[in-house]
Amino acid sequence: MKPLHIFLAICVMAAWGINFVIIKVGLDSFPPILLSALRFALAGLPIVFIWKTPPAPLKWIVAIALSLAIFKFNLLFIGMNLGAGAGLSSLVLQTQAFFTVIFAFFLLDEKPGIRQLLGMGFAFGGLGLIISERMQEYGAIGGLLFVITAAVCWALANLAMKQAASKNPLHLMIWVSALSAPFLFAISYWLEGGDVMGQALNNINAMGAFSVFYLAFVATLAGFGVWAFLLRTYPAAYVAPFSLLVPIFGMSSAALLLGEEVSTLTILAAMLILTGLALNTLKLDFLKRSKTPC
């Protein structure tokens, strides 16, 4: 990969990692579902330029909107609002890679290899440590359960994206955003209440506005646009491993900017999950080398 493109990939991973800190900041100004609605309303604005050319069959756009925008992000925001830390959420959410493998096996008959199975073992072992620690500290896993469920929904969205087979992922994300926003506003009104929505919008401050702008334009449109460009330019095997940096940026930025403490057990769990992700994502060519005569 060209140095500039490596730099762009790292910037996107940093933006997506810091994204979890920005969500925490946004939740200080907005209830979780309203924050999600505002994010996708802004991210869907470019639909006015591309509405005549759907990037995929409408049924798959709807499926992605439901699983990704309406369920995954709402569950993530609610989980973080209930106390799941920004750094921990950035790590746990990456288990979507393994839920994707599981669902692909049952729904698409895609059989996982040895590396994927080993990776799942490491990752779910790390997830078990996190759940155990949360239950010991708080008596319940609280918001963490919502984050895990968000990872499951993300995995379902991955399968829907695979079936959609869109040649323009950025346009697909814009369509998903525009389609999701009205439903998210309706759900927010129903569950969070019109009074709460009105109060949040009337009392919006600079940090609240910045969080919505960042989530919509930096994390969603710019991040997804650059990521789609890299995937079109290089083989996925070169690009996908950069996603391992997301929880690293997420946990470090949460510690630096929010003062979130990282326990020894959490560090051990992070190492297990990252090892699992590496086994699932990286091409370990040295495992495939043929034996040489002595």
What pLDDT is attached to residue 142?
Answer: 75
DSSP letter at 181 equals H
DSSP letter at 84 equals -
The low-confidence residues of the chain, meaning pLDDT below 50, are: 139, 285-294
Number of C-alpha atoms within 13 angstroms, CB side, residue 79?
Answer: 27
What pLDDT is attached to residue 239?
Answer: 76
Structure tokens at 201: 């919008």
- Give SS3 for 31: coil
Task: Map tokens 């095997």 to a residue.
Answer: 237
Q: How many CB atoms lie within 10 A of CB 194?
A: 10
Spatial separation of the C-alpha atoms in residues 24 and 77, rounded to whole Å: 8
What pLDDT is attached to residue 140?
Answer: 52
CA gyration radius for the chain? Answer: 19
End-to-end CA distance of the chain: 36
User: Per-domain residue ranges for the chain?
Assistant: 3-281
From the list 251, 203, 279, the residue with the least C-alpha distance to 29 is 203
| 45-87-196-177 Cα dihedral, nearest 10 degrees | 20
Region of residue 281 (phi > 0: left; psi between -120 and 50: alpha; otherwise: beta)? alpha
Mean confidence (pLDDT) of the chain: 86
What pLDDT is attached to residue 65?
Answer: 93
Structure tokens at 125: 């072992």
Full 3-state SS string of 43-88:
HCCCHHHHCCCCCCCHHHHHHHHHHHHHHHHHHHHHHHHCCCCHHH
Spatial separation of the C-alpha atoms in residues 36 and 23, rounded to whole Å: 9
- Give SS3 for 6: helix
pLDDT tens figures, 159-216: 898 888 778 888 888 999 999 999 999 999 999 999 999 999 999 999 999 999 999 9
What pLDDT is attached to residue 137?
Answer: 59
48 Cβ contact list (under 8 Å, min separation 6): none
Burial class (CB in 10 A: 0-12, 13-18, 19+), 293: exposed
Q: Which helix (H) or strand (E) holds 132?
A: helix 114-138
Spatial separation of the C-alpha atoms in residues 109 and 212, rounded to whole Å: 39
What pLDDT is attached to residue 44?
Answer: 94
